[in-house]
């Protein structure tokens, strides 16, 4: 509850801590551009590269929240780079009872592995 009162970024960081995952710095491009954090909610594991590393992500920025599907594309030293497609809704409309179209975005994220 406390994290939700501090904004969507604090909520994502709290979710990452609860899921024992690192928050990923994420940049989304599309009609609007957002920089924020995402966290992997679910992730695939497989021996084949094509099937391994897919994840369902929750995204939060100061002005938008959303979900996305991302794929691990590179591991460079202690960093992991993902690319994916996300859909967002402006934060002010998140709890609105009006039905609003979600905005599609392409995104790239970087996380630190430990």
Nearest 5°: phi and psi at 113? -95, 140
8 A C-beta contact, residue 104 and residue 87: yes
Note the pLDDT of residue 89: 87
8 A C-beta contact, residue 67 and residue 60: no
pLDDT digit of tens for each residue in the chain (114 aa)? 444 456 666 776 776 676 667 788 999 998 889 999 898 888 888 888 788 889 999 999 988 899 999 999 998 888 889 999 999 988 877 777 676 778 899 999 998 865
* Residue 67: HSE in the Cβ half-sphere, 13 Å Cα cutoff: 5
pTM score of the predicted model: 0.75
Structure tokens at 74: 């590179």
- Most distant CA pair in the chain: distance in Å? 45
């Amino acid at each position: 509850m406390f994290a939700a009162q501090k904004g969507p970024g604090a909520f994502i960081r709290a979710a990452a801590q609860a899921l024992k995952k690192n928050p990923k710095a994420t940049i989304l491009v599309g009609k609007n551009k957002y920089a924020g954090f995402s966290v992997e909610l679910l992730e695939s594991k497989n021996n084949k590269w094509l099937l391994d590393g897919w994840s369902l992500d929750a995204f939060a920025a100061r002005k938008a929240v959303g979900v996305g599907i991302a794929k691990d594309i590179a591991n460079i030293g202690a960093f992991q780079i993902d690319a994916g497609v996300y859909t967002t809704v402006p934060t002010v409309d998140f709890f609105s009872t009006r039905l609003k179209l979600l905005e599609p975005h392409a995104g790239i994220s970087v996380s630190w592995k430990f």
